[in-house]
Structure 1
Amino acid sequence: MLYEDQVREEVSLWAKKLFKQPGMLEQASKKLGMKVNSLIPQKAHDAITAAVRTIVKTTLFGAEYTPKRKVTFTTLEEADRQAKDAISLYRKIAAAEGAGTGAGGILMNVVDFPALIAIKMKFLFELSHIYGYSTTPFSERIFILSVFQLAYSGPTERQRMFQRIRNWETEKQQWSSDVNYHKNMDWETFQKEYRDAIDFRKMLQMIPGIGAVAGAWANYNILEELGETAMNSYRLRRLAEATQRRPVE
């Protein structure tokens, strides 16, 4: 079997898992997270929204996350190998950050929220270069943001992001500039869906005595989920491009 055929099967299985109905544990943790969120003062929610907005704007318009790694277009098999190495590295970085903030109590956990997003964005920029895409064009940064949203959104938004990624060659035409981005971005929904996706694990980080262990575990798993989503998103894109380049028999 050709490597690309094997990858097509793996991506198909991933897509099915992506839209599988949530289990009882996931439903229960979401309800618990919603209950806890209702007890958090609005000022705290506003602060989190502002932090998310700042980091995402840095992602789209700044150079902070641009990796030193040069953009090289290798075979899909080699790109996957490098991607797995990057996932392994960033899981360890995220786990170390979670352990440090988890040991520092609630105030340090507030710091952890934007710090973890920054780690994820750095990882996604790195992965973009691994799969052969420069992060300079605005459209590529929208792709990165779409992968992030795919990993941490509810069913409706997840479906929309998946369709955007699957049809990226067409979708990217509307993202040559930031006009549509400013018009369509809903910051409140963005941060709420992200927070809902990670809440249960991050709440464990705030429990005295187990904060460091829980923080390391939570961040490790959250980054692992992002790694799987990002890797398969880029695989999906590379496979689509290969199909378009294939000569008609």
Structure 2
Amino acid sequence: MAATPPFGEPDAAYEAWAAREVAHWRQGVLKPAGPLAQAARGVQQRINRAIPEKVHAVVTGVIERMTRTILTGADMVTADPLLDAPLKERDQRALKAIADYKATAAVEGGVAGAGGFLLALADFPALIAIKIKLLFDLAAIYGKPGEAFAERLYLLHLFQLAFSSAGRRADVFHGIEDWDARDHPESFEAFDWRTFQQEYRDYIDLAKMAQLIPVVGAPIGAFVNFRLLDRLGETAMNGYRMRWLAAQR
């Protein structure tokens, strides 16, 4: 996560600090891909082109169905939106939630890494479920109703932003800017699931494959899951801070 928040500051001073944090985060998100990132992306794209189209279609379908099921599940919404709270209280609660989910994901990844190939495969959907549940909890903390379709669509975009390549992140980010001032689709049909699954899979492929290595799979699985939840938490916090600050203008 980023710098330690100054929770002892008055609300106005805290909001000014948060605005600077969001600006710094935005700058990092929009930073062009460097030479190493471009080279790695080129290798991954060549691998993707070598994979038969039928395989891509199957993987896309599995991720789409799994993600839709999780996003539309009523059990994902477990808390009412937090109302009439200052940003610093929301951030405090968000950091606590992220820490709890990182610990859960680390334990799950460690068990999967120690359990061999089949458990490592099972970690894939389990980790998506943990990530999306975190996003729903953060939505409630920042005062957003998880039942609303537009909010679920926003969560999907935050997920995509966190795990997109450097070359794709700017496009995803611009899609969530001024979110509350724009109209949005009323279904997931317009969403680009193929790009979503490729970007997500490419982002975690090497790290998750390391879970399969005997002996070291467990600590690697725990560390990787911890880091993935940390990245998602930072992305979501800043995404919701950005919306909260825009609403105060």
Normalising by structure 2, we get a TM-score of 0.85
- Residues 88 and 32 from structure 1, CA distance in 2 versus in 1: closer, same or farther, beyond 3 angstroms? farther
Deviations 1:57-105 (CA, angstroms, capped at 9, x unpaired) = 12443213112x2211211010000000011000011111111111112
User: Partner letter of residue 184 of structure 2?
Assistant: Q
Out of 195, 207, 215, the residue aligned to residue 201 of structure 1 is: 207
SS in 2 for 1:2: helix
Q: Deviations over 1:172-223 (max 9, x none)?
A: x223x21xx31x2222221110011112211211111111010001000011
| Residue equivalent to 1:247 | none
Which residue of structure 2 lines up, in the alignment, with residue 174 of structure 1?
Answer: 184
Pick from 121, 138, 141: which aligns with 1:110? 121
Give the partner amino acid of 2:148: P
Letter of the 2:80 partner, please give it: K
CA distance, structure 2, for counterparts of residue 49 and residue 144 of structure 1: 19
Matches within 5 A, 1:1-249: 2-22=13-33, 26=37, 30=41, 45-67=56-78, 69-73=79-83, 74-171=85-182, 173-175=183-185, 177-178=186-187, 181-182=188-189, 184-243=190-249
CA pair 43-205 structure 1, distance change in 2 beyond 3 A: farther
Displacement after TM superposition at 1:155 (Å): 3.9
SS in 2 for 1:12: helix
- TM-fit CA distance, 1:39: 7.9
Separation in 1, partners of 2:244, 2:88:
11
Shift of 1:170: 2.5
Q: How many residues align?
A: 237
Separation in 1, partners of 2:165, 2:156: 15
Structure 1's 27 and 192: CA in aligned 2 closer, same or farther, altered over 3 A?
same
Aligned partners of 1:94 and 1:219 also within 8 Å: yes
Aligned in 2, Cα 1:129/1:92: closer, same or farther, shift over 3 Å?
same
Give the residue type in structure 2 aligned to 1:117: I
Contiguous gaps of at least 5 residues in structure 2: 1-11
Q: Name the SS of the counterpart of 1:78 in structure 2.
A: helix
Structure 1 residue ranges, 4+ long, deviating more than 6 angstroms after superposition: 35-44
8 Å contact from structure 2 (residues 33, 167) kept in 1: no
Moved more, 57-66 or 224-233: 57-66
Root-mean-square deviation (CA, aligned residues, Å) is 2.3
Alignment TM-score, normalising by the size of structure 1: 0.85
Corresponding letter in the other structure for 1:235: R
Once the two structures are superposed, what CA deviation does each residue of 1:107-166 show, in whole Å capped at 9, x if it has no partner? 222111111111000000000000001111111101111111111113454223212222
Identical aligned pairs, as a percentage? Answer: 42
Counterparts in 2 of 1:240 and 1:151: CA distance versus 1, 3 Å: same
Is 135-144 or 23-32 further displaced after alignment? 23-32
Stretches of structure 1 lacking an aligned partner (at least 5 in a row)? 244-249
Q: 1:60, 1:138 within 8 Å by CA — same for their partners in 2?
A: no
CA separation in 2, counterparts of 1:237 and 1:146?
14
Are 1:165 and 1:237, in contact at CA under 8 Å, matched by a contact in 2? Answer: no
CA contact (8 A) 2:32 2:167 kept: no
Instruction: Name the stretch that deviates more: 150-159 or 217-226.
Output: 150-159
